[in-house]
Structure 1
Amino acid sequence: MAQRTGRRPGNRDTSGEILAAARTIFSERGYDSASIRQIAAMAGVDAALVHHYFGTKEQLFRDVVDIPVEPAALIADIFGAGVEAVPERIVQSFLGICEGPATGPALFGLLRGAVSHQWQGLLLREYFTTQIIRRVLSRLDTVVDPAEIPLRASLVSSQLIGLTLARYIFHYEPLASVRSELVVKLVAPNIQRYILGELDLTEEDARQLVTVLTGLEDAGK
């Protein structure tokens, strides 16, 4: 039987089915390895219809994750005070997301869901790693080794997500109650090292990193 393409007949929720397919593909393959064609095939529609409803792959991914954050605006703010202030601005911006009236509840909902549902955790990881942190690091590719960007991005993401869980979800005291300015002061040096510091990778470390990244790429194909 030939696969159906184009708009589906009847009252089907086509956009909802595309979102459901995208959620599966993005969580299984990651943002980089996922494609509009794969998502369209799972949803049983033309790739053109996916573009019609959601535009680009990036926009579709942001709709799947559903956090009201504009990455481009956020990154512009992070770099607004120059490269040296980037680590501090990252923490400030992230705390601003956590404490925002719309962005905070959206992020916390995704984090709570990630505890029970692996796919939500994978989407959250992909969102912060590919849409925010890796873009920040890509603007610093003249300062850091581009081959280290995926590792540095995952380290920064782990720091920020761990901070969010401890401060806003599990309410670890006194971290949960101290001023945001103090949190920035204490956490920014860790972000500074992850972004700009020497990782002191040995040749064996570097080979292992390449092996891991190659395995991830192959798994996403």
Structure 2
Amino acid sequence: MPGGGDATTKDTLTTLTTNAERKRPGRPPGPSDTRERILTVARELFARNGIDKTSIRAIAAQAGVDPALVHHYFGTKTQLFAAAIHIPIDPMDVIGPLKEIPVEDIGRTLPSMLLPLWESELGKGFIATLRSLLAGNDPSLFRSFLQDVITKEIGSRVDDPPGSGRVRVQFVASQLVGVVMARYILELEPFKSLPIEQIAETIAPNLQRYLTGELPGLS
């Protein structure tokens, strides 16, 4: 792996725990009934309308509070989403650094960044939430996250030919969700015990092809 990419990945992973401990989405001080009412409304609106089409103002109005209070309790909309689905980190802490990664390196950077995160203590909370969502608790929230957040942040960078960005990102998501299912949920051996570096190196070329290569039906 190129040294620069490794340094970026390590720096990102180092800051994730610090940011999570600092922010702790969904755990600010304040009346618990107000916070829970906001979270309940947020889950309903995120599931019904998606993240992109749900505003802080709409959540506040339905919860009967001032929008400033929602920001005070939860920060940004993605932090509120993280709190609503009980994951311990702001998704943008993971996705944001990818904006600085050259498009041709994203396929390698993604698994190198995500696999160590999934193996960490923070990752256990994410895996538990994903297990619940995929089991049918509310898959619409996870679908909204993939379509509204991931596609918006990454899809526009790989939208060649025009209109292909969304499906490219979905191919990547299918590979990564498959890794989570096989390693952490189904716990298939020997895949469960493989070194994470081996998995990252193995799937990286596929991920990069999904992002920037020629795909049947997209040319």
Per the TM superposition, whether the score is higher than 0.5 is yes
State the alpha-carbon separation in 1 of the partners of residues 211 and 165 from structure 2: 8
State the alpha-carbon separation in 2 of the partners of residues 50 and 70 from structure 1: 16
User: Which ranges in structure 1 are unaligned for 5 or more consecutive residues?
Assistant: 1-10, 204-221
Q: Does 1:97 align with 2:113?
A: no
State the alpha-carbon separation in 2 of the partners of residues 193 and 125 from structure 1: 23
Q: Does 1:111 align with 2:130?
A: yes
- 1:189 maps to 205
Q: Which amino acid aligns with 2:39?
A: L
1:67-216 matched pairs, under 5 angstroms: 67-75=87-95, 78=98, 82-102=102-122, 104-119=123-138, 121-132=139-150, 134-140=152-158, 144-201=160-217
Deviation at 1:62, TM superposition (A): 2.6
Q: Which amino acid aligns with 1:22?
A: A
For these two proteins, the number of residue pairs brought into alignment is: 189
Deviation at 1:195, TM superposition (A): 0.7
Deviation at 1:109, TM superposition (A): 1.0
State the alpha-carbon separation in 2 of the partners of residues 44 and 80 from structure 1: 39
Q: Which amino acid aligns with 1:114?
A: L
State the alpha-carbon separation in 1 of the partners of residues 83 and 37 from structure 2: 13
State the alpha-carbon separation in 2 of the partners of residues 85 and 12 from structure 1: 44
3-state DSSP of counterpart to 2:70: helix
Bigger Rg, which one: 1
Deviation at 1:31, TM superposition (A): 0.9
User: Which ranges in structure 2 are unaligned for 5 or more consecutive residues?
Assistant: 1-30
Deviation at 1:132, TM superposition (A): 4.2
Conservation of the 8 A alpha-carbon contact between 1:94 and 1:160? no
State the alpha-carbon separation in 1 of the partners of residues 79 and 41 from structure 2: 15
Conservation of the 8 A alpha-carbon contact between 1:25 and 1:34? yes
The 1:48/1:113 distance shift into structure 2, 3 A limit, reads: same
Q: What do residues 83-127 of structure 1 show as CA deviations (whole Å, max 9, x unaligned)?
A: 43220111111111210112x2111111221244342x3323333
The 1:76/1:29 distance shift into structure 2, 3 A limit, reads: closer
Deviation at 1:147, TM superposition (A): 2.1
After superposing the two structures, state which structure 1 stretch, 71-80 or 182-191, moved more: 71-80
Pick one of 46, 67, 88 that aligns with 1:47.
67
Q: Which amino acid aligns with 1:159?
A: Q
Q: Which amino acid aligns with 1:97?
A: L
After superposing the two structures, state which structure 1 stretch, 132-141 or 188-197, moved more: 132-141
State the alpha-carbon separation in 2 of the partners of residues 179 and 81 from structure 1: 24
- 2:40 maps to 20
The 1:73/1:114 distance shift into structure 2, 3 A limit, reads: closer
Deviation at 1:150, TM superposition (A): 1.8
State the alpha-carbon separation in 1 of the partners of residues 170 and 64 from structure 2: 34
State the alpha-carbon separation in 2 of the partners of residues 76 and 26 from structure 1: 21
Deviation at 1:78, TM superposition (A): 4.6
RMSD: 2.7
Percent of aligned positions that are identical: 39
Deviation at 1:165, TM superposition (A): 1.0
Q: Which amino acid aligns with 2:154?
A: V
Deviation at 1:183, TM superposition (A): 0.9
